[in-house]
A = this chain, B = another copy of it.
Amino acid sequence: MTEKSSPTDPIHARGSGATIADVAQAAGVSVATVSRALSGNYPVAKATRERIFRSVTDLGYVANAHARALAGATTRTVGIIINDVADPFFAYIARGVERQASAEGRMCLITATHGDKERELALVDLMREQRTDAVILVGGASDDPRYRKQMADRARALAAAGSSLVLCGRPSLGVGVPTKMVTYDNEGGAFAITDYLISQGHRRILYVGGPRDFSTTASRLAGFYRALDARGIERDPSLVHEGAFGRGFGYSRMRELLDQAIDFTAVFGANDLVAAGILEALEERGIRVPQDVSVVGYDDVPVASELRPRLTTVRVPLEELGREAVRLALSQSPHDAGASSDNTLTVGTHIVIRDSVSAPNKT
Contacts and interface: CB of A to CB of B under 8 A. Distances in A.
A94 interface: yes
A55 to B, nearest CB: 15
Contacts of A267: none
B112 A66 contact: no
A95 B84 contact: yes
A16 B162 contact: yes
A254 B37 CA distance: 53
Interface stretch (A42-50, A121-129, A166-174): A121-129
Interface string A135-166: 00000000000000100011011001110000
Contacts of A102: 111-112
A319 to B, nearest CB: 8
Contacts of A60: 153, 157
Interface in A43-63: 60, 62-63
Contacts of A67: 66, 70
B154 A11 contact: yes
A225 B127 CA distance: 49
Contact of A306 (B11, B69, B128, B307): B307
A85 B109 contact: no
A95 B84 CA distance: 7
Contacts of A110: 85, 94, 98, 108-110
Contacts of A10: 153
B88 A95 contact: no
Given A66-B69, A109-B109, A92 B88 contact: no
A229 interface: no
A64 interface: yes
A129 to B, nearest CB: 4
A11 B163 CA distance: 14
Given A60-B153, A85-B85, A17 B108 contact: no
